[in-house]
Structure 1
Amino acid sequence: MSERIHATYWLETPLAPQRAAEIIAGEQSSGTFLALANETDALKARSGARIERLEMLDVVGAPSLPGRYADQARFSRCLLELSWSVDNMGVSLPNVLATVAGNLFELQGVSGLRVLELRLPRVFAETYPGPAFGIAGTRRLAGVPQGPLIGTIIKPSVGLDAAQTAQEVRQLIDGGIDFIKDDELQADGPHCPFDERVRAVMREVEAGADRLGRRAMVAFNLTGELDEMKRRHDLVQSLGGTCVMVSLNSVGLVGLRELRRHSALPIHAHRNGWGYLSRHPALGWDYRAWHKLWRLAGADHLHVNGLSNKFSERDETVAEAARAVLEPLWPETPMPVMPVFSSGQTGLVAAATYAVTRSQDLIFAAGGGIFGHPDGVAAGVTALRQAWDAAVQGVPISVHAETRPALQRALGFW
C-alpha cells in the first residue's frame, strides 16, 4: 500500500460539511465538478483523496471571506483531515504544495480555509535531505558553541553603499556580534552592488578575525535568478564567507532546493511575505505546516518573528512557530534548523523567549536594540548577552543589571 500525505484544515462552508469535504477531496485528487465514466471505483480507491476526519466546531451566520452565497446561508466550521497517496504526485514538494493548497481557497463552497498541519511520510527524507548545516553546523562556523547567537540586520535597509555597509559591519564585529544579515530589501542594486558589498564586508570580517580571533557570520542576501544565486554563493564562499540568505517566497521551493544542492554554506531563509499567507485567521497557512516544506527543501535558519514584535502576530503564534521549528521532523530524522527571532527585539524579551523555547539554539537579532544603546554598539551587544544570561539563570533582568552597567543603561532605552 502506498504511503500517504496528510493535511489538516480549518474549514468554513455554507454547504453540509460532509458534502464540502467530498468536493475538496475530489477537487484535489481524481474528481471534477461532474461525475465522469472513467473515474471508476477502482481509480478512486487508488488515487482519490481520503477523508480521514471531519469534526464539527460551530455554526455562524456570516462568512469569513467574501464570495457568492445564498441569502440567509449559515456557515459551518469544522476540522477536516484529508490524505493522499504519495503515488498521486511522487516525492515532490512542489506537487505536494499543489495538492494540499491548490484550487481550494477559491472554491465556491468554501468561505474559509486554513492549512493547520502537514504530515509527510519519511520517504521524503530520501529525496530531500533538509538542512546541510542546521544548528550544529551554524554554531561551528559562527564560533559560538553555546548560548544564543546575538545578531543584527544592516540598517538602513537600503541606501548605504558598499563602503558604508562595511563600516557598519566593522563596528558590529568590534562590538562582539555573532551574526549579521543583509536586510531582505538589499540585494544587488546599483548603489550597493552585491559583488562590491561582499568584497568590502568580507575584508572587514577577515580583519576582525585577525584582531579578535573569531570570524563573525554574515548572511549575504543572494536572492535572484537561479544562475545569479549560484554565482553569488560561489563568490561568498571564495572570499571566506560562512552564510548566504534567500527570500523564500521570492525564489520558491524549486529555487531553494536548487540552491541547497549547490550550496556549501548555511542558508538563512527569510519568510518575508508571510503575512499574505497567514494574517487572516480564515485563510492561508499555520506556520507549523508551512515551514516543513522549506525545512525539507534545505533551509538552515528559519525566521519565526519575535515576541512583542512590531508586526501583527500574537506572542502565542510566534511561540508556536518557534516550537515547531525546534521539533524533529521525524524521530529518526530530525533535520534540525535554527529559529531566528527578529522584529523589534530587545533584551526585555529574552526571558520570555527562553521560557517559550527552553532553548538557546536560536539567532536573536536586534537592530535598534543594539544600535540605540547610548554607549555604542559594543555596549548594545554586551547588554543583549547579559539579558540572555539573566534569562537562562532565572534572574530578573533588573536585578542582573544592578552590577552590569551596559545592561543598566540599556534598560533606559529598551
Structure 2
Amino acid sequence: MNSIDDLVQSLNSKQQAYVNLNLEDPENGEYLLGVFHLIPGGKMNILQAASEVAAESSTGTNFKVNTETAFSRTMNALVYKLDLDKNLVWIAYPWRLFDRGGNVQNILTYIVGNILGMKEISALKLLDVWFPPAMLEQYDGPSYTLDYMRQYLGVYDRPILGTIVKPKMGLTSAEYAEVCYDFWTGGGDFVKNDEPQANQDFCPYEKMVMHVKEAMDKAVRETGQKKVHSFNVSAADFDIMIQRCEMIRNAGFEPGSYAFLIDGITAGWMAVQTLRRRYPDVFIHYHRAGHGGFTRPENPIGFSVLVLSKFARLAGASGIHTGTAGVGKMKGTPEEDVVAAHGILYFKSKGHFFEQIWTKIMESDKDAVNIVNEDMSRHIILEDDSWRGVKKCCPIVSGGLNPVRLKPFIDVMGNVDFITTMGSGVHSHPEGTKAGAKALVQACDAYLKGIDIEEYAKDHNELAQSLEYFSKAKEGV
C-alpha cells in the first residue's frame, strides 16, 4: 500500500487544489463535513479518486479550466483526512457553496449527486455528515414536533401507538375508515396511510378524508381520547399536493389531529420543505420509500440511514421512518438504525464519525449546555427559545413489528420517544383490528408496569391471543 506521502505526490495540479491534509480546524464553522467509504475505480489510487469526488461535488470538472478565479478556488471542497485501512475519506465543503435559501435538495445535489455516477469510483457511500452552527442558522428544522403530538394526545412516557391500514391497497374509502375506527376504539393513538395511498378509483381521496373524519369523531366520542391520522399528500404536482392539504384542513379536523405524510425520496426534498414552510403547525411525516436503493449496507454506492435522517431533520420533517434495528422485517441493525434515531431525536448525539450538536449558538454557551442537559433528562427543550437550536425529529418505527416485539425494540432503542406503526402486527389478530389494538396497548402496559408479557397475558385475553398467534407464525404453523 502506498504511504500518505506517496499518494500526495501522485496528484496532478488539478487534484492538488482539492486536497489539504493539513487543513487547520475543519470544525471552525466554515465547512459541512462528510465521511465517505471510497474504493477507487480504474487506475486511480484512493487519494486521486477522492480529489476527483471533491472536485465534482464542488467547483471542479474533469479537467482544470481557465475560467477559475481566486475566489472560486476558495469554494473548493477539500479532502482533509484518510483512513487507508478502512478506505475512508473525509471531505470538507465550504457551506457557502449551497443555496442560501435553506435548500436541502441543493446540498444533496452536490454531495451525493453526480459523484455517485463517476467512473473513478467503484464504491462511494456517504456515512456521516456534520453541520456547523452557522450553517444550521440557514435551515428550517422541524416546527411541529413529537412533544406537541404528545401534548395533543395527552400521552407521555410511552411510545405513540400507531398502525398502518392493511391491506395497503384495495379497501374502499368506507372500509379504510372502518379499520381506522376499529384501531382507535381499541385504544390506539395514530393511524397512517400506507405509502402508495393516493386517489384510486376504488378509494377516492376526498371520500377517504371525509370518512376518516367521521370515524375519528365517533372514536373520540366513545373513548374520550384524542386521535391522530397521517394523510399521504404526495401527488403528481405541487398544486395537487397543496389541494390535498387544504382539503384536509377544511374538512373540520381539530388542529393536531392530522399529519401530512410525504414520500420524501420519490416526491423529493422540495415537496418536504414546501410542506414544512406552508404548514408549520402540522406534523410533517417523512416516509422514506425507496431509501434502500441508497442506504442498504450491501449497496456500495449511496448514503447511510443516518445521513438521510439528519437531512430530514435539517429540512424540517417532524418525523421520519428510521427502521426497526433488525427487530422487525426490514433490513437494519442497531448500529445503523438506532444511531440514526438518536441522531435526529437528541440535541447532542454521536453519529458514526461525528458528534453533532444541533445548536445555533456557541456550543460552549451555558444556555447550549443547559439545553443538552435538559434534553438528556427528557425535558421539553427549545419551547420558548427556538432561536438557540434545531428542534427534534421523531423516529417512526414500522416494518414487521407486533405487540410481542414492542419491548424488545424499546430495549434496543433505549427510550420510548418514537411512533410505532404496526400493520399486520395489529390487523392479523385472530379477533380483528380492534382486538389487535387492545393487544398492543396491553403489551405497552406490561412494559410500563415491568411485568413479563407472558405473565401479563394471563389476565388479558387479546394479548394472550396475540402471543399465541405470533408464536405459531414464527414457527410456520
TM-score by length of 1: 0.89
The 5 Å alignment of 1:211-226 reads: 211-224=222-235, 225-226=237-238
Query: Could you list the per-position Cα deviations for residues 177-235 of structure 1 after superposition, in whole angstroms to 9, with x for gaps in the alignment?
Result: 10001111111112212111101110111122222222310001111122222221122
User: Any conservation in 2 of the 1:151–1:365 contact (CA below 8 Å)?
Assistant: yes
Q: Which moved more, 1:348-357 or 1:247-256?
A: 348-357
| 2:312 counterpart (294, 298, 311) | 294
Specify the SS of the correspondent of 1:123.
helix
CA distance in 2: counterparts of 1:16 and 1:88, whole angstroms:
27
Structure 1 344/46 Cα, relative in aligned 2: closer, same or farther at 3 Å? Answer: same
The answer as to 2:256 corresponding to 1:247 is: no
What is the identity, as a one-letter code, of the residue corresponding to 1:216?
K
Q: Which residue of 2 aligns with 1:73?
A: none
User: Any conservation in 2 of the 1:154–1:168 contact (CA below 8 Å)?
Assistant: yes
Specify the SS of the correspondent of 1:105.
helix
Q: Which residue of 1 aligns with 2:8?
A: none
Q: Which residue of 1 aligns with 2:295?
A: 278
Structure 1 150/44 Cα, relative in aligned 2: closer, same or farther at 3 Å? Answer: same
| 1:227 counterpart (239, 262, 280) | 239
What is the identity, as a one-letter code, of the residue corresponding to 2:68?
E
Gaps of 5+ in 2: 1-27, 348-356, 360-367, 369-388, 471-477
Q: Which residue of 1 aligns with 2:456?
A: 400
Q: Which moved more, 1:48-57 or 1:346-355?
A: 346-355
Q: Which residue of 1 aligns with 2:126?
A: 115
What is the identity, as a one-letter code, of the residue corresponding to 1:36?
V
What is the identity, as a one-letter code, of the residue corresponding to 1:83?
A
What is the identity, as a one-letter code, of the residue corresponding to 1:21?
A
Q: Which moved more, 1:232-241 or 1:328-337?
A: 328-337
Q: Which residue of 2 aligns with 1:348?
A: 404
**Identical counterparts, % of pairs:** 27
Structure 1 82/316 Cα, relative in aligned 2: closer, same or farther at 3 Å? Answer: closer
Q: Which residue of 2 aligns with 1:313?
A: 332
Displacement, 1:145? 3.1
The answer as to 2:133 corresponding to 1:133 is: no
Gaps of 5+ in 1: 59-77
CA distance in 2: counterparts of 1:182 and 1:99, whole angstroms:
33
CA distance in 2: counterparts of 1:325 and 1:270, whole angstroms:
15
Structure 1 175/53 Cα, relative in aligned 2: closer, same or farther at 3 Å? Answer: same
Q: Which residue of 1 aligns with 2:351?
A: none
Displacement, 1:334? 4.2
Structure 1 335/212 Cα, relative in aligned 2: closer, same or farther at 3 Å? Answer: same
| 1:26 counterpart (43, 47, 55) | 55
Q: How many residues align?
A: 394
CA distance in 1: counterparts of 2:231 and 2:66, whole angstroms:
55
CA distance in 1: counterparts of 2:419 and 2:29, whole angstroms:
39
What is the identity, as a one-letter code, of the residue corresponding to 2:282?
L
Q: Which residue of 2 aligns with 1:327?
A: 346
Structure 1 404/167 Cα, relative in aligned 2: closer, same or farther at 3 Å? Answer: closer
Displacement, 1:31? 2.3
Specify the SS of the correspondent of 1:165.
helix
Q: Which residue of 2 aligns with 1:86?
A: 95
What is the identity, as a one-letter code, of the residue corresponding to 2:34?
A
CA distance in 2: counterparts of 1:115 and 1:348, whole angstroms:
35
Displacement, 1:44? 6.2
User: Any conservation in 2 of the 1:351–1:392 contact (CA below 8 Å)?
Assistant: no
